[in-house]
Amino acid sequence: MPDKIILVTRKTRLEELVERFNTRPQARFYIEHSGGNFDWYEREHETYYAALSHLRKELALLAKLQVIERSFLPNFIFAEDDLVVTIGIDGLVVNTAKYLHGQPLVAVNPDREHIDGVLLPFDVSGAPAVVRKVIKGQAAFREITMAEACLNDGQTLLAFNDLFIGVKSHISARYRIQIEGRQEDHSSSGIIVSTGAGSTGWLSSLFNMADGLWKQFGDLDNGAAAAAGRLARPGMDWETDRLIYVVREPFASKTSGATIVCGSITRQAPLVLESHMPEGGVIFSDGIEADYLAFNSGAVAKIGLAEKKTRLVIDG
């Protein structure tokens, strides 16, 4: 039974602007001088904090409540019996999930009018009732598959949506790729590894690019066929025990190949990468470049399915 509720919040864009320009008037001057509408930032801020205030009051009636801001997640230690609630955009759920170890996660949408919320099944008014269900052991969950990068020095990094393995600038990443008994040296723009939950994000943009290339160049003798061409997307739901990897812009040369460029990662067939980069090599997850593993010469990364899964509370 959960003993404590951890409510995870995020800074609004207005707060980030004030941090950048020191005061709200200075932030207003910058936005309006650039032709933007500062009132929109203020309305978004007010909507978020009204929702947060209401949710805090309701949750405090149910159990001991602790509130933390997203930037503290890397250093925060969750207890096994904590119940975690997020209030914000989908990205806040993604960022929080990486630091949990099986704790139930209730994701709350603070503004249904403006936030789509694929990962946010509950609004502020309905969230307290869902939390009561979790406390009573009556909640329904989805067990969402995650990816994990493990280095040969023992460091690990989890991903809810995707991992990026490459270099932190725009120069080519150099490494050796190995999977299912095959291997080759690569010079590329890095590798994307996607989970089922992330398959509609970064991975989908790679498919969109491939579709465009096929439509333009896929069958020069049959323009109609090329125009209708579209790669089949991998069928992956959030619980799928499979990852998809795609090598970005592989370059074929005397010292690098381009035959191992995409495929599936399973528990039986992980992806192994050996860095050939003296410096600048990185592995980061879910678009958070600041929280990364160094991936330089001598480092070997094993990319596979994480043992733990995210327990996302659903409406049911």
Instruction: Say which residue, 94 or 227, is predicted with more confidence.
Output: 94
Q: How many CB atoms lie within 10 A of CB 67?
A: 16
Q: What is the pLDDT of residue 220?
A: 57
The CATH number linked to 122 is 3.40.50
Closest to 84 measured CA to CA, from 103, 99, 71: 103
- Same domain assignment for residues 26 and 110: yes
Task: Say if residue 47 is in the same domain as residue 116.
Answer: yes
User: In a 3-state reduction of DSSP, which class is residue 82?
Assistant: strand
Neighbour tally for 60: CB within 10 Å: 13
CATH of the domain at 292: 2.60.200.30
Q: What is the pLDDT of residue 217?
A: 78
Confidence of residue 74 (pLDDT cuts 50, 70, 90): confident
* pLDDT score for 211: 86
| Cα end-to-end span (Å), the chain | 19
Question: Which residues partner with 123 through β-bridges?
Answer: 109
> 126 with 155, same domain?
no
| CA distances for 50 relative to 110, 125, 170, 183, 255, angstroms | 9, 12, 42, 55, 58
Mean pLDDT of 66-89: 94
Do both 184 and 93 map to the same domain?
no
Q: Which of 138, 156, 187 is the last residue of a domain?
A: 138
Answer yes or no: do 120 and 190 share one domain: no
Q: Give phi and psi for 195, each to the nearest 5.
A: -90, 175
**What is the arithmetic mean of pLDDT over 191-212?**
91
Residues 109 and 171 occupy one common structural domain: no
Q: What is the mean pLDDT of the chain?
A: 93
302 within some domain = yes
Q: Is residue 211 part of a domain?
A: no
Shared domain for 184 and 250, answered yes or no, is yes
Same domain, 52 and 155: no
Q: How many domains does one find in the chain?
A: 2
Residue 93 belongs to what domain range?
Answer: 4-138
Residues 124, 167 share a domain: no
Segment 153-181 shows an average pLDDT of: 95
| Domain boundary residue, one of 138, 171, 188 | 138
- Amino acid occupying residue 163: L
Residue 208 lies in a domain: no
pLDDT of residue 225 exceeding 60: no
pLDDT over threshold 90, residue 289: no
User: Based on the domain organization, do 183 and 134 belong to the same domain?
Assistant: no
- Gap between the Cα atoms of 27 and 14, Å rounded: 8
